[in-house]
Structure 1
Amino acid sequence: MHRRQFLAGTAAIGLLPQLAFAARFDVTRSDAEWRAMLTPLEFKVMRQEGTERAFTSPLDKHWAEGQYHCRGCDLGLYASDTKYDSGTGWPSFYQALPDAVGTKPDRRWFTTYTEAHCRRCGSHLGHIFDDGPKPTGKRHCINGVSLVFKDA
């Protein structure tokens, strides 16, 4: 197999990062700039689409009134009144704030998930599933390291 064929095949199944993906956002930074402002775990999750371990985020059991913002650009993403305990070990919400979260297909694990990212800076937040509560039926399963909580 030639290198070009291999790269085309791996890109088709989502094994290569979408390099053009980052260029569509209002807030852009170089990898060096992101690394300077984020911890290694935050960088892995937010910029390399990683996942923090379940039950490690203090925001999972945080119930104060306020808003959850993107750690990368401070855009408000989720209101505290849409947060619920999904039992998954990650902060979960049934709805994002208007025009806050973008999505794209995530095909890395031989199935397709809906990846959630900040619409302003493209930082990876987590995934959206169809097993949430009413009124939306959605579960935004979000990495706590991608968020900053701000009191009301």
Structure 2
Amino acid sequence: MSEQLPISISVCNDLVQQFTKIRSVCNKLEAQFNFQTMTANWYGNEEAVLSVKLFIETASSFTIHKQAQAQSEIKHYSDDVFSYYNNSEKNQTLSCYIAITDSEFSMLNQQHKILAGLLHIKLQKVLNLVAKQLTLDTI
């Protein structure tokens, strides 16, 4: 049985079907971001470890999730990123939804090789916005 890492990345099924390497890219990014946040001392208090769940969505699934959370206290980072705290979890969990915009989707369809770079930049930017919000060191 393996322990859940503080940062996890999930990808919607539509993106998995469209981009066959997206899961392996996200697995590598998950490991990298967990290491970087650990070295940036995000988890100094072992009694209250912050968990961040990153959900990568299509533009349409992003809108559906955003509407579903209309009653929650949502933090909007940009037009394509929002987050909220999941209070049902034992530890403090921040769920972040990130949309692959239509223009990004078009670029990825034309050039599959930019997938890893685009996701790295986009997810790192979101994690640094979270760090700023929570007064943690950026990665």
- TM-score, normalised with respect to structure 1: 0.25
Work out which of the two has the higher radius of gyration on C-alpha atoms and give 1 or 2: 1
Q: Which has the higher strand share?
A: 1
- TM-score, normalised with respect to structure 2: 0.27
